[in-house]
A = this chain, B = another copy of it.
Amino acid sequence: MSDHSQVLALSGGVGGAKLALGLAKVLAPEQLTIAANTADDFCHLGFPVSPDLDTVMYTLAGLNNAELGWGLANESWQFMDALQTLGGETWFRLGDRDIATHTFRRQQREAGFSLSEITAQLCTALNIQQRLIPMTDDPVATQVLDGEQWLDFQDYFVRQQCEPNVSQARFNGIENAVIAPDLAGLLDVAAADNSLKAIIICPSNPFVSVAPILSLPGMVDKLIQARAPVIAVAPIVGGQAIKGPTAKMMQALDMPVSALGVAEHYTKRYPGLIDGFIIDHVDAAARADVEALGMRVLLADSVMTSEQHKRNLAKDCIAFARQF
Given contacts A86-B125, A87-B125, A107-B46, contact A78 B81 (CB under 8 A): no
A80 to chain B, nearest CB (A): 8
- Mark contacts of A74-103 with chain B using CB atoms, 8 A cut-off: 1 yes-contact digit, 0 otherwise: 011011111101111000000111111101
Contact B110 A96 (CB under 8 A): no
B contact residues around A88 at 8 Å (CB): 100, 103-104, 107
Partner of A46, one of B86, B98, B101, B110: B110
A87 to chain B, nearest CB (A): 5
Contact B45 A86 (CB under 8 A): no
B contact residues around A75 at 8 Å (CB): 78
Given contacts A45-B107, A78-B78, A106-B46, contact A100 B126 (CB under 8 A): no
Cα separation A88 to B106 with both chains bound (whole Å): 12
Cα separation A127 to B282 with both chains bound (whole Å): 59
B contact residues around A83 at 8 Å (CB): 100, 103-104
B contact residues around A78 at 8 Å (CB): 75-76, 78, 95-97
- Mark contacts of A60-84 with chain B using CB atoms, 8 A cut-off: 1 yes-contact digit, 0 otherwise: 0000000000001001101111110
Q: Is A220 an interface residue (CB 8 A)?
A: no
B contact residues around A125 at 8 Å (CB): 85-87
Contact A100 B79 (CB under 8 A): yes
B contact residues around A177 at 8 Å (CB): none
Copies in the complex: 2
Contact B107 A82 (CB under 8 A): no
Contact A82 B96 (CB under 8 A): yes
Q: Is A122 an interface residue (CB 8 A)?
A: yes
A145 to chain B, nearest CB (A): 28
Contact A79 B104 (CB under 8 A): no
Cα separation A88 to B100 with both chains bound (whole Å): 8
Cα separation A155 to B318 with both chains bound (whole Å): 54
Cα separation A46 to B62 with both chains bound (whole Å): 28
Partner of A103, one of B45, B87, B95: B45
- Mark contacts of A27-63 with chain B using CB atoms, 8 A cut-off: 1 yes-contact digit, 0 otherwise: 0000000000000000001110000000000000000
A62 to chain B, nearest CB (A): 13
Interchain Cβ contacts under 8 Å between A and B, 22 examples? A45-B107, A46-B110, A76-B76, A78-B96, A78-B97, A79-B79, A79-B97, A80-B100, A81-B97, A82-B96, A82-B97, A82-B99, A82-B100, A82-B101, A83-B103, A83-B104, A86-B104, A86-B125, A87-B104, A87-B125, A88-B103, A88-B107
**A-B interface, 9 closest residue pairs, ranked by CB to CB distance from nearest:** A82-B100, A78-B96, A82-B97, A83-B100, A96-B96, A86-B125, A86-B104, A46-B106, A76-B78
Chain A contacts to B: CB under 8 angstroms? 45-47, 72, 75-76, 78-83, 85-88, 95-101, 103-104, 106-107, 110, 121-122, 125-126
